[in-house]
Chains A and B, each alone.
Chain A
């Protein structure tokens, strides 16, 4: 048991934690966009799966990981448009539409994988880049500044999303639509347009979250690669109180638990692996219990908007 507390292992856990936070951050920040505008997109996991497969497949065929990332973004956009059409234009129940989108994504990615690839293969993907100067700092440099590009991008996304949502006109429009669509509408904001935009931004980021998984973290694809990670990302949005900084805290908490769990298995600590795998899910429920009475959701969350009805 003591071997967990050696410096190598501790650093290993921290390095993994930073890496593993990447898909959580992409997906949860994206979901924060959608939810800030009042749309709960529960299809994140499905979008991630399709994005992960597309990025993996294009990289496998062309050898160009950037084309793969582009493909994942486009697939995310298309699925975002589908989700917006169903939940914004057709005003469908958002929770169930999201589950439909998830099932669609799960089925589509498995189908494409089985027909086009068949067996588990690895791709080259993104390689770690040691940042100049920063990467040379002992310990700190090793933990924070020797990662692959998507990891840096995910962390940069946090201040970027904060700035966009809190400091730009578009961000304020998104929040207005999420708080009081009728008032926003009467001030001339096109509610449906803003919601389409937010859901699609979220979906593109979910596609990128999938791509980061299959081309930067594990560098392979298999059926149901995400194993519910997208749902945890949705929970992180609640946990983070719809604020990018809160989401960052949550993502790091989860990735640290995950990294700890993985390292325990590597070290052969005598805990059944099933219990270890359960940890993040148990933690999610605990986190939801802890925050639900504390944070205030966007007032119009989960409510379709129709002129003259509210």
Chain B
């Protein structure tokens, strides 16, 4: 058999293996999960004597009612996407990283300290090195629970939650101490924020008068990079293999603990970048509450995007929109944006719950396919 024809055959096989009804079904599940969450949210709103239609309309108008609302949704989607990419890598290795909040903080700290430390550097040098600094510091915060898991089998969920709390206190301490804005000290306000970053460290604005910066482009590019990494490199393959079947991977000679620790470290790095984008693109300084809860909403976005870097792009935008809409809703109809936090939790519950239904569906389909095939053979 000439080699060309065998290549053709595998190509054909690959093309045939895309089953669009299956893809449609998988995409429909998160949407249904979202609708179920919105429905429960509506019941809660009714109990609180708020018209749910009015509240949800306020969310929608908040995003699509104005140009700023729309760009703002992209601004919020950026850190969600970056955090979500890290979550994808970790979850694919069966490592549940709840530590993105703390990793964002560390990334923001690293970026701030670096940019303030090398104030005089030109932008072409300062911007990439600051981003790198944030990646490394975030990765460091993921590395610790990664090593604890690999070396001492410490449950990473618990250790990352603790690391979040520690990071938060660390930031509070630094931003009130060594990193405090001297202008605030001179003025006697003692605001818990850092000095403003040098302009050379700011991310380029894409649209003037908005907060949309080159960080958004970086995030999308990185989504493709992570996709290639997970599906086209050996390390990526091993990370996924470890997640799918740790025992089989171990028999195949893969160092499971090492790859789990690596995935947690990388996850921390991406969350760290999210912190840098917030500091370098949005606030231009480090201040309390820098994470805005992205560490948790990033998990929701990642699950919603099917733990796929490319599926994450629309998912991050969807949740970015929800967050923007929630702020607008709070002002328009006086419903606290905590409503959205609650809905995010429900979305997580329903998305992971529906995985079972999709598994059942897959089993049923394969049985039906096998039956059809055997009947074909008989005929």
Task: Return chain B residues, CB-CB under 8 Å to A289.
Answer: 148, 152, 154
Q: Which of B149-200 contact A (CB under 8 A)?
A: 152-155, 157-159, 161-166, 169-170, 172-173, 176-177
How many angstroms between the C-alpha atoms of A97 and B341 in the bound complex? 15
Roughly how many angstroms separate A158 CA and B166 CA in the complex, as a whole number?
A: 30
A-B contact pairs, 19 of them (CB 8 A): A85-B353, A86-B353, A91-B356, A97-B353, A101-B349, A104-B348, A106-B345, A108-B44, A111-B48, A111-B338, A115-B335, A115-B336, A228-B161, A234-B158, A238-B155, A274-B170, A278-B170, A285-B163, A288-B155
Contact between chains at B170 and A231 (CB < 8 Å): no
B172 and chain A: residue at smallest CB distance: A274
* B residues in contact with A285, CB < 8 Å: 148, 154, 159, 162-163
- Bound together, the chains give a CA A301 to CA B341 distance in angstroms of 29
Given A110-B338, A111-B341, 4 more contacts at CB 8 Å?
A: A99-B296, A106-B342, A234-B158, A278-B165
Chain A interface extent, by class: 35 or more
Q: How far is the CA of A101 from the CA of B353 in the complex (A)?
A: 12
| CB nearest neighbor in B for A108 | B342
List, in ascending order, chain A residues with CB within 8 A of B349's CB.
82, 86, 92, 97, 100-101, 104
CB of A292 closer than 8 Å to a CB of B: yes
5 A-B pairs closest in CB distance? A104-B345, A107-B342, A100-B348, A107-B341, A103-B345
The answer to whether the Cβ of B339 comes within 8 Å of any Cβ in the partner chain is: yes
Please tell me if the beta carbons of A231 and B352 are within 8 angstroms of each other in the complex: no
Q: Which of B79-110 contact A (CB under 8 A)?
A: 96, 98
Task: For chain B, residues 314 to 366, give those with C-beta under 8 angstroms from any C-beta of chain A.
Answer: 335-336, 338-349, 352-357
Given contacts A96-B303, A96-B352, contact A282 B166 (CB under 8 A): yes
CB distance from B37 to the nearest CB of A (A): 9
What residues on A are CB-neighbors of B148 within 8 Å?
285, 288-289
Which residues of A sit under 8 angstroms from B339, Cβ to Cβ?
A: 107, 111
Q: Provided the pairs A102-B345, A114-B338, A275-B169 are in contact, do residues A97 and B352 lie with their beta carbons within 8 angstroms?
A: yes
Cβ of B299 under 8 Å from chain A: yes
CA–CA, A91 to B358, complex, Å? 12
How far is B162's CA from A105's CA once the two chains are assembled, in angstroms?
Answer: 19
Partner of B353, one of A90, A114, A293: A90
Q: How many A-B residue pairs have CB under 8 A?
A: 150
Cβ-closest chain A residue relative to B349: A100
A42 at interface, CB cutoff 8 A: yes
Closest to A278 in B: B169
- Which residues on the B side are within 8 Å of A288 (C-beta)? 148, 152, 154-155, 158-159
| Contact in complex: B345, A100 (CB < 8 Å) | yes
A108 to B172, CA, bound (A): 27
A159 located at the interface, meaning its Cβ lies under 8 Å from any Cβ of chain B in the complex: no
A 130-147 binary contact with B (CB < 8 Å = 1; else 0): 000000000000000000
Mark out the residues of chain A between 79 and 132 whose CB falls within 8 Å of any chain B CB in the assembled complex.
82, 85-86, 90-93, 95-108, 110-112, 114-116
Contact B355 A93 (CB under 8 A): yes
Residue of A whose beta carbon sits closest to that of B296: A103
Asked whether, in the complex, the Cβ of A95 is within 8 Å of the Cβ of B157, the reply is yes
Q: Is residue A281 within 8 Å, beta carbon to beta carbon, of the partner chain?
A: yes
A105 to B44, CA, bound (A): 13
A101, B345: Cβ atoms under 8 Å?
yes
A233 vs chain B, min Cβ distance (A) = 10
**Is A183 an interface residue when CB atoms closer than 8 A count as contact?**
no
* Nearest-neighbor residue (CB-CB) of A103 within chain B: B345
B104-133: CB near A (< 8 Å → 1, else 0) gives 000000000000000000000000000000
Once the chains bind, are B344 and A107 in contact (CB under 8 Å)? yes
A149 at the binding interface (Cβ < 8 Å): no
